[in-house]
A and B are shown apart, each in its own frame.
Chain A
Amino acid sequence: MTIQEIFFYLFSIIMLAAATMVISVRNPVYAILYLILTFFSAAALWILLEAEFLGIILVLVYVGAVMVLFLFVVMMLNINQSRVSEGFVKNLPLGIGVALVMLAEVLMVLWYKNQTGVDNFPIPVPHEQGYSNTAEIGERMFTAYLWPFEIAGVVLLVAIVAAVALSMRHREGVKTQSVPQQISAEKRDRLELIDMPVEGVKKN
């Protein structure tokens, strides 16, 4: 076994074990932590495939931002742990059915391409030192795949606007600070110096 293979099996086993734990642990906070471990192992596998851009972005976006917000929500909600596993037996047949359909779809694609043997997937030739995966992805994205890339960007933008529009609500009677008003405030608008006689002291 080469060192790559050792690492491949190590990360694969960790990933599959963690993914199983995600759906089997009772505490939702633990489930999210195992999901983070799953993402991390997946990122490690991608880096083994010399796709370091995808691997690091997976850690940056999912581990660094998305899962933090997941944790945030789960910690705030205080989910009832016994209710989570309720209905497991009832929904099991449906779940197995969906899983089987997905497996069948994957197998159909492989069968259609007639690539069911391991021999049809040769070990990729490693790139030479100094190869930049990031530069290559950037070049492809802005030349061959420009339109799909731009359209995906617009779709994401629409999703952001929709999320903001859906969650925004105007409440009456809430006091918020107006920053331009604060900045433009001047001394003469707010402060008045009055000449007044001192009280309680008789002038001679």
Chain B
Amino acid sequence: MYKCEDISKKLGEAIDGALKRVDSDVLRMLKVAYEKETNERAKWALAQIIENDEVAERTDSYPCQDTGIAMLMVSVGQDASFDGSLEKALNEGVRIGYRDARKSIAHPLTRLNTKDNTPAVIYYNVVEGNGLEVKFLAKGAGSENMGGVRMLTPSKGKKGIINAVVEIVKEAGANPCPPILLGVGVGGSMDKATLLSKTALLRKCGQPSADEETAELEKDILEAVNALRIGAQGLGGVTTALACAVETAHTHIGMLPVAVTVQCHSVRHTTVKFG
């Protein structure tokens, strides 16, 4: 039996740590982008981003003031049991993890701030066994506001998918703090595609899909997006996106949903295993 208090504590500490560290794979990709860049304005921005991430680590500071809305992807075993409410325990974990971070969560209509960064956005995936795993992603508003969904018709095919992503990134311009990472969900229904675009971002950054055709699509999207020359902070240059991850699901014969989640360069996430 899982103790809810232990879940909250462990999750809280993991979130607190994750919010103060930019993913090391992303930092490595940023350094490659800096070396590759010839546009002096983009290089100006990239140098600051790299210095920032190193200053944050050295001083245990938040690399970005927008510590985001907390997203939790929970894999819970169908045989697992708890000594209380799992959902309450997860939100308590978020409360603990955000104790020193910015409180950015407000009611959508009254705009009143909850002052503890809860409630988190939580998705549950029920799996076999009695395990419990939580993937945490801090999602900032600047990039999240730039995401989008396109309900394509099947005839649009792969070219249509690439065009849809390019359009969304073009529209976003400098707003999502490029260089960005792209999570793309293809298939399922409108909501399923959107969820897939989030789970795509939870994959190890820069790692291609295990499926060959999907990996090919990821490469094609990345190439098309970087051809936009939006560049770091929208200042031009060769790197608009550092990586693109695509996740797919079977869909209806009459549908081709495409969802794009835009992630800024300040990638803060972690995975916590319990039990």
A pairs with B: no
